[in-house]
Structure 1
Amino acid sequence: MKVITISAEALTTGQIARWAALQAETKEFGSPLVGPYFAQLIQRHRGDVHVAIAEQDGRDVAFFAFHKASHGYARPVGAPFSDYQAVVSEPGLELDGTAFLAEAGIERMAVSGLMDPHGLFAQAALEPTLGYRISVKDGGAAKLERLRQANPKWAKNLRRLANKMDRELGPIRFVTGDTSPTALEAVLSLKVEQYHESGLTDVLRPNWVKAMMQDLFTRTDPNFGGCLITLYAGDYMVSGQFGVRQGGWFHPWIASSCPKAHPYSPGIVFLGQMIRYAEDIGIETIDLAQGHSHYKAQFSRNPVTVQTGQVGRRAIPASAVKSGPIGMIQKRLDLIASVEPDLAGRLHAGWTAVTSAPRRLMARGKAQQTDRVSTDD
């Protein structure tokens, strides 16, 4: 077996087709974030995407896209928008994942949602976490009925929230595949305001991210492109989500809601409506990724297990990674380094992180009191 590393812009039509075919062979690889089109998207707007390809008996058998850093360190392609990582490979392939990465020059890489259905990596140094996905292959109405049967009280409250919004703010209107540039700008602007108020790093600030979002928005091909979905109450946009889709798999990145609508739990109402109407634009899987399990678990009753930690010959075991304030600082610095490719951007983001610390502390305290929106009441 031979491993080569090329730039994403050097991928041939045949390699792209082969990569996509390997995705289709294993359902866990269906996420747009681990395929060739996402790697090409990031290459167009960031320009430092490398692809490791394993070749065996004259055919390509594994693909992995990444960003090179220094001293053998690498980052997942498109970080921090890469909620999942995977070496997309043939089923049954005998491949040591760590050795494969080493051949590509990767000695260590942090992963936040490693999908490894073929067991290429040793799990001992990693920690499992849950990825929340909603399957609507049988239709939204059928999915909502299954959720109702599993938790009638929760389903009743979901209807109550939607009815309250409809009654007090205006008739609910759900737009799948919203093509309004104004709506996209509203969703992104609300998210930027949320970052500012909470003191979190504004990952939408870098020019490459802005260009990527606009590029995706103009690509309406369901095989790969952007997808904007919005919820209105009357003429009032209360919530929206924007992300990337590949075929029937939708992975929303940016979820935002108007603060004035928070008493109506717009995010909860939005998810209920999205389940109901996603099939209208051919969506079969809604991928909510990791985190915020207190509300995602209500909609995704069968989450998938993915791995978090580090991979590579010089990987630090998850059990040895620092926690507490030091660990939080390290994670923030890594986030800044991943989203800001140049020194000027990193200095700006670093200074902003320092000056926004009081807002983060206030937001964290407030979140402990109000973040959990119970839908069982």
Structure 2
Amino acid sequence: MRTMTRLDITVHRTGELDASLRGAWHRAMDESPEYANPFLAPEFAIGVGRHRGGARVAVLREGGEPVGFLPFERNALGVGRAIGLGLSDCQALVHRPGVTWDSDELLRACGLSIFEFDHLVEEQKPFGRHVTGTFASPVVDLKPGDGDYPAWLRGAYPGLAKTTLKKERRLARDVGEVRFVYDERDPRALRTLMGWKSAQYRRTGRMDRFARPWIVDLTNHLFHVREEHFTGVLSVLYAGDRPVAAHFGPTSSTVFAAWFTAYDPDLRYYSPGLIMHLRLAEAAARHGVRLMDMGRGEKEYKDWLKTRELRVGEGFASRRHPVAAAHRLWRRPVRGLRNTVLAHPALRDPADRLLRTVGTLRSSSRTDSERTQSPTAER
């Protein structure tokens, strides 16, 4: 086993990752299935780094050879967080088999007093003592099907097949012929998806991620990335020429990460979101994907589709430092309250209803404001 005493740690801006370092990072992903998730690829870190000035990568070297990579974000006070925290559904120090490290030495080399994470790969033992909770992350083990989509659906999900196929037929009859495009390259479809998702966030009282220009720009950038370890895949379900549901997420050669899914709310009675996920799973399997990672979070459709669960960790790796203590005192109660609410249906359901009420009031207020604008203001 490799020892920590032989490791040298340097820190780089994401834009400084040359082809050699990216290649070494890719090899580390290939050598351990735990790191095959596209959110752990250098392409994701580089994409975030285009829009986040504090994005960095720690490179661990053994005998001059790069053997580990930790992407992170750092502010001026030395507070660190996993790269893309709040967007990424998988976080880790990606390393070659047998490499280990000391978390205090790593943080010191990175100039961090504290490092926050919320989707940490379970394998990350050196961070283990800093994990404050572990959570289920549902996944779907995919197998290429024989025959057409209906045959695959009946074999993979016999309990859902009858209802889903019936709704698809009704959608085709009422709106137009149903077709699915796994890798849609029309950027207009991506804009449609972001519009649907933005409206959904507002309607349900959640923070509208697409109200943040940098997230819109990041999504547009990742849409154009076409690499073996990270490809931005936009999938669209159509009825005739009308898009009714869409999903955008990254895929590696073997893992598909579910990310942004939304649908036309006017067609919600056809369950377009569920149809979308089932079509997506079947198509991803045909494209060589072996695992669909649906990410941490309680959703009914995840319980329907999952074949098993991974465990991801949440917590704060920290050194003895006043900034670390202050950050932990501020963030831990917020995370603890959120996790308590999400873990108990008796609390989660009323909270969800409250958020929806807030979303309705917000939308109503926005509509009233738009109605009172002057013609000059509208232009």
TM-score, with structure 1 as normaliser: 0.78
- Moved runs in structure 1, 4+ residues, more than 6 A? 140-147, 315-318
Is 1:259 paired with 2:265? yes
Is contact 2:152–2:282 with CA below 8 Å preserved after alignment?
Answer: no
Change in 2 beyond 3 A, CA 1:98/1:149: farther
Per-residue Cα deviation, 1:49-105 (whole angstroms, up to 9, x for no partner): 111112222222211011102433112212322121101112122322343233212
**CA 1:293–1:197 in 2, change beyond 3 Å: closer, same or farther?**
closer
Q: Aligned residue for 1:166?
A: 172
Q: Are the counterparts in 1 of residues 102 and 126 from structure 2 also a CA contact under 8 Å?
A: yes
**In the alignment, what sits opposite 2:355?**
360
The equivalences for 1:333-372 within 5 A come to 360=355, 362=357
Q: Is the 8 A contact 1:242 1:254 kept in 2?
A: yes
Relative to structure 1, is the Cα distance of residues 223 and 119 closer, same or farther in structure 2, using a 3 angstrom cutoff?
closer
1:169 deviation in Å? 2.9
Q: Does 1:227 align with 2:222?
A: no
In structure 1, distance between residues paired with 2:277 and 2:353: 32
Secondary structure of the residue that 1:204 maps to in structure 2?
helix
Q: Distance in 1 between matches of 2:286 and 2:242?
A: 22
* TM-fit CA distance, 1:197: 2.0
Shift of 1:26: 0.6
Of residues 40, 45, 58, the one that matches 2:64 is 58
Deviation at 1:229, TM superposition (A): 0.1
Q: CA deviation at 1:168?
A: 3.0
2:207 is equivalent to residue 201 of structure 1:
yes
Q: Match of 2:291?
A: 285
Which of 100, 108, 114 lines up with 1:102 in the alignment? 108
2:44 to 9, 14, 38: 38
What is the aligned partner in structure 2 of residue 13 from structure 1? Answer: 19
Distance in 2 (CA, whole Å) between partners of 1:361 and 1:176 is 31
2:126 is paired with a residue whose SS is coil
Is it true that 1:217 corresponds to 2:223 in the alignment?
yes
Are 2:237 and 1:242 aligned?
no
Over residues 182-236 of structure 1, what are the superposed CA-to-partner deviations in whole Å (9 max), with x where a residue is unaligned? Answer: 2111111111111222232221223322222222223344543321000012222
TM-score (norm 2): 0.78
Q: How far did 1:17 drift? A: 0.8
The amino acid across from 2:333 in the alignment is K
Structure 1 stretch 64-73 or stretch 221-230: which is displaced more?
221-230
Offset at 1:280? 4.5
Distance 2:140 2:265 in 1: 26
Contact 1:23 1:30 in 2 (8 A): yes
Contact 1:178 1:228 in 2 (8 A): yes
Contact conserved, 2:247 with 2:260, CA < 8 A, in 1?
Answer: yes
- 1:178 aligns with 184
SS at match of 1:126: strand
The answer on whether the counterparts of 1:32 and 1:251 sit within 8 Å (CA) in structure 2 is: yes
Q: Which amino acid in 1 is paired with 2:280?
A: M
AA in 2 matched with 1:61: V
* Structure 2 counterpart SS, 1:212: helix
Which SS does the other structure have where 1:45 is aligned? coil
Tell me the C-alpha RMSD between the 2 structures.
3.3
From the superposition, tell whether residues 248 and 54 of structure 1 become closer, same or farther in structure 2 (CA, over 3 Å): same
Letter in 2 for 1:75: R
**Uncovered stretches (5+) of structure 1, i.e. residues with no partner:** 329-356, 366-377
2: CA distance, partners of 1:145 / 1:109: 47
Provide the C-alpha distance between the structure 1 equivalents of 2:62 and 2:146, rounded to a whole number of angstroms.
42
- In the alignment of these two chains, the number of paired residues is 337
> d(CA) in 1 for partners of 2:295 and 2:146?
19
**Which amino acid is the alignment partner of residue 272 of structure 2?**
P
Question: Of the two, which has the highest radius of gyration?
Answer: 2
Selected match of 2:310 from 304, 312, 317: 304
1:28 partnered with 2:34: yes
Classify the secondary structure of the residue corresponding to 2:34: helix
Distance 1:323 1:232, change over 3 A: same
Change (3 A) 1:144 1:211: same
Change (3 A) 1:121 1:238: same
CA shift for structure 1 position 268: 0.8
Aligned: 1:322 with 2:317 = no
Counterpart for residue 118 of structure 2: 112
What residue ranges of structure 2 are gaps of 5+ in the alignment?
1-6, 339-351, 361-379
Report what 1:76 is aligned to: 82
Taking the aligned partners of 2:353 and 2:60, their CA distance within structure 1 comes to: 48
Matches within 5 A, 1:105-144: 105-123=111-129, 125-139=131-145
Q: 219-228 vs 266-275, which deviates more?
A: 219-228
Distance 1:235 1:250, change over 3 A: same
Q: Structure 1 residues 364, 311: closer, same or farther in 2, change over 3 A?
A: farther
Please give the alpha-carbon distance, in whole angstroms, between the structure 2 residues aligned to 1:201 and 1:126.
25
Deviation at 1:289, TM superposition (A): 0.9
| Shift of residue 275, structure 1, vs aligned partner | 1.7
Shift of 1:181: 1.9
- 1:285-334 deviations in Å (ceiling 9; x for gaps): 3221111342212212112111122223367889x93269x945xxxxxx
Quick one: percent identity of the two aligned structures? Answer: 26
For residues 205 and 31 of structure 1, the distance between their equivalents in structure 2, rounded to whole angstroms, comes to 27
Aligned equivalents of 1:260, 1:168: Cα separation in 2: 13
